[in-house]
A and B are shown apart, each in its own frame.
Chain A
Amino acid sequence: MFERAKIPDGDRLRREAKVAGLRDFRTPSLEAVERRRLRLWLLTTIVLVVVAAGVMVVIRPSGSSSGMLSEPLLRLAIFVLALAFCVYALEKEFRLGRATRLLTDERVLTAALTNRLHEASLLLDAGRAMNSVLELPELLQTVLRSACELLDANGGSVMLVEGDELVTLCVRGRQEAVGARLRLGEGVAGHVALRREPVLIEGHVDSNEFPGLADRPPYVESAMSLPLVHRDEAVGVLNVNAAAGRAFTEYDLRAVAVFAEQAASAVANARLYEAERAHVAELIELRHDRVGEAG
């Protein structure tokens, strides 16, 4: 039972291709299989035309047939030849069909791997960009830009938790939203920060589902709101709006969730750095005051 599973797919593919008549088969190619299929059916057509011509010659008015073979024997021979060729063509077609299926499977696997690599590469780039910045405003710009690039989005915002409120600190698109405040639990972002669960928005948002939602334009057709959670604590919310004609899916939500985890850590580090810097500045000022007093 397990014998077959042990044969690598590349070997199976090469074997099928060789039996199907692709002798120089080294690099898998659907185009080569299609060319072989075209040649096979061209040959089949020619053989059948020749057979039909042969049959017409054989069944000419009696008396005109001559040679070593009798007419019934000749008919039988042509029939057997035609049948044998049809069996050959069908067998080759069967093998070509299997080679096509295996090649398509290989393409699917390659595409899946390429997509995964692309995603990983984008996440790596975004992570690298975020880790190279320590200043909070610059970091938030980087987070938002990377998220938009990752999702092919046209706008969004980053909101950070301050006390029991969310403050909009960085915006792409509607700049007047900078500085806007929202209580935790209010609207979509407040709901996301409180529940720490991402939300995928498709079409009009129901204000009953998200109490406190401000019903004002511009309305978005598709958007995502993700919590930025660091060490089990919500530090903010990342909102991303889809470009016109693009609809986010749960697949996008899953992809960007990994990014949001990295962003949350970067935000927490930047805040820590900001607090440390403020503390150092305070100490330096205190030292200056003391030196001044002593002088």
Chain B
Amino acid sequence: MSPLKPRVLIVEDDPDLLVVLRVNLTAMGVEPILAGDGRTAISRIQAERPDAVVLDVMLPGIDGWSVLEDLHAMGDPVPVVVCSAKKDVEDMERARELGASGYVIKPFDIDRLVDAVMGAVGRSRGVQPGLAVELGLEGPELA
């Protein structure tokens, strides 16, 4: 019920990863919402205004790059953490140009991804990452 509870949209087509990310983010006091493809992601971002988005680039139908391009074109300020199996510098640069706030290479360490997401949530709420715990954006008080 807390109005401070951050909401994070997880965009991923792999059901196992969806569940793992949901459980881990819930444990961090985040309310996760899910999307399995690009179209659902765009509609849920517009309808539910999440504090951050975890975006897999390889999706059925509209892929993650198209979602990122759409958000960039719409000027949507939601911070996006991109997940990709590609290590190419060009891809990282492309994500940065399209306004992504983080880039995590798969297979990823779940703790690193959660840290990146919490950092993005902190930025979304105008909080420096170091102050996130103090202001209740992390930790048990929101669980």
A residues with CB within 8 A of B: 1-5, 101, 104-105, 108-109, 111-113, 115-116, 249-251, 254
Contact = CB atoms under 8 A, between A and B. Distances in A.
B143 interface: yes
B44 A5 contact: no
A105 B34 contact: yes
List of 8 A-B pairs having minimum Cβ-Cβ separation, nearest first: A1-B140, A112-B15, A1-B143, A108-B34, A112-B36, A105-B34, A5-B27, A108-B36
B63 interface: yes
A226 to B, nearest CB: 16
Nearest to A94: B1
Contacts of B63: 249-251
B27 A250 contact: no
Contacts of A108: 18, 34-36, 40
A1 B40 CA distance: 30
Contacts of A115: 13, 36, 60
A101 B48 contact: yes
Contacts of B12: 112
A122 to B, nearest CB: 14
B13 A251 contact: yes
Interface in B88-136: none
A3 B48 CA distance: 25
A108 B23 CA distance: 15
A93 to B, nearest CB: 14
Contact of B27 (A1, A104, A105, A113): A1
A104 B19 CA distance: 14
B15 A113 contact: yes
A108 B40 CA distance: 9
Interface in B28-64: 28-29, 32-37, 40, 44, 48, 57-60, 63
Interface string B3-37: 00000000011110011001100111100111111
A109 B139 CA distance: 26
A114 to B, nearest CB: 9
Contacts of A109: 15, 18-19, 34, 36
Contacts of A4: 26-27, 143
Contact of B60 (A101, A113, A251): A251
B58 A111 contact: no
A5 B23 contact: yes
29 contacts: A1-B29, A1-B143, A2-B143, A4-B26, A4-B27, A5-B143, A101-B48, A104-B33, A105-B22, A108-B18, A108-B40, A109-B15, A109-B18, A109-B19, A109-B36, A112-B14, A112-B15, A112-B18, A113-B15, A115-B13, A115-B60, A116-B15, A249-B58, A249-B63, A250-B57, A251-B13, A251-B59, A251-B63, A254-B58
Contacts of A105: 22, 32-34
Nearest to B27: A5
Contacts of B37: 111
Contacts of A104: 33-34, 44
A233 to B, nearest CB: 25
B43 to A, nearest CB: 10
A283 B113 CA distance: 63
Contacts of A1: 27-29, 139-140, 143
Given A4-B26, A109-B18, A101 B33 contact: yes
Nearest to A91: B1
Contacts of A101: 33, 48
Given A1-B140, A101-B33, A104-B44, 6 more contacts: A4-B143, A104-B33, A105-B34, A112-B12, A112-B15, A113-B15
